[in-house]
Amino acid sequence: MTEKSLIEEKFRDIEYNLKTINEDIAEAAVKSGRKPEDIEFMAVTKTVDEMYINHALDCGIKLIGENKVQEMLRKKPNLKLDGVRKNLIGHLQSNKASQIVGEVDMIESVDSLKIAREIGKQSLKKGIVTDVLLEVNIGMEESKTGFMPDEVPEKIYEIAEIEGIKVCGLMTIPPICEKNAELCKFFNKIYNMYVDIDSKIIDNVCMRVLSMGMSGDYTEAILCGSNHVRIGSKIFGPRIY
């Protein structure tokens, strides 16, 4: 095949995948008593070429996510981002906070008090408020960053005091589970935490985003209360690093 026909084939794959995912999202939304438009669909674009990202944007994607600061900044000028929001979803080092604050619409991966303070500080310098989610290590895995589930209800008050950020919800990546029932246990746990925090009505905290669900588990995540799914490989194919 010529390169051109390979690209066209990949474009068609992306269109088909987006259609399938949109249908799955709509069905899971209705099943869980909500409307399709209540669920935000993020295309995770890490390692994906700008040409394919732009195709997904042409197909109606309104939210993208990258997990690395440099990659986000490098690709941004080449993307058709009119009316499109972009979020950082990967671990952020303190020394990179100044580069990313003001360049994204939300930082979903606030995984420590330290980085929350740094984002706040850099935001104040730029005269803005940065929307953030707290990343929760719901399975308490050593390999993952994030707040431990037990510390969130307490730390949320400390984080709420930080100027320059606004806490808009929670984000999580659950452990790999063999059984759906096990996976849902983790999803339910963070959903309950989300509802619980919301009910406390804390100044500067507004629980409106529950970011969970990726290519392999977005349907289950929505059924368990997610309103924001982050999907990469199911749209663009396996990642080549």
Ligand X SMILES: *Cc1c(COP(=O)(O)O)cnc(C)c1O
Q: Do 111 and 145 touch, CB atoms closer than 8 A?
A: yes
Using the minimum distance from each CB to ligand X, give the nearer residue, 153 or 216. 216
- Residue 9 phi, psi (nearest 5): -65, -40
DSSP 3-state of 106: strand
Provide the binding-site residues for ligand X, judged by CB under 6 A: 44, 46, 67, 89-90, 173, 214-216, 230-234
For the bound state, the minimum distance from the C-beta of residue 85 to ligand X, rounded and expressed in Å, comes to 16
For the bound state, the minimum distance from the C-beta of residue 51 to ligand X, rounded and expressed in Å, comes to 18
* Rg of the Cα atoms in the chain: 18
In degrees, rounded to 5, the angle at the alpha carbon of residue 80 between the alpha carbons of residues 75 and 86 is: 65
For the bound state, the minimum distance from the C-beta of residue 173 to ligand X, rounded and expressed in Å, comes to 6
- Residue 17 phi, psi (nearest 5): -60, -40
For the bound state, the minimum distance from the C-beta of residue 135 to ligand X, rounded and expressed in Å, comes to 8
Q: How far is Cα 95 from Cα 15, in angstroms, rounded to an integer? A: 38
For the bound state, the minimum distance from the C-beta of residue 159 to ligand X, rounded and expressed in Å, comes to 20
Residue whose pair of structure tokens reads 């095949």 in the numeric block: 1
For the bound state, the minimum distance from the C-beta of residue 44 to ligand X, rounded and expressed in Å, comes to 4
Sign of the C-alpha dihedral, residues 192, 217, 66, 87? Answer: negative
Using the minimum distance from each CB to ligand X, give the nearer residue, 90 or 174. 90
Using the minimum distance from each CB to ligand X, give the nearer residue, 164 or 231. 231
Using the minimum distance from each CB to ligand X, give the nearer residue, 38 or 71. 71
Q: Which two tokens stand for residue 158?
A: 């400390």
Using the minimum distance from each CB to ligand X, give the nearer residue, 20 or 163. 20
Using the minimum distance from each CB to ligand X, give the nearer residue, 139 or 232. 232
Q: How far is Cα 110 from Cα 198, in angstroms, rounded to an integer? A: 18
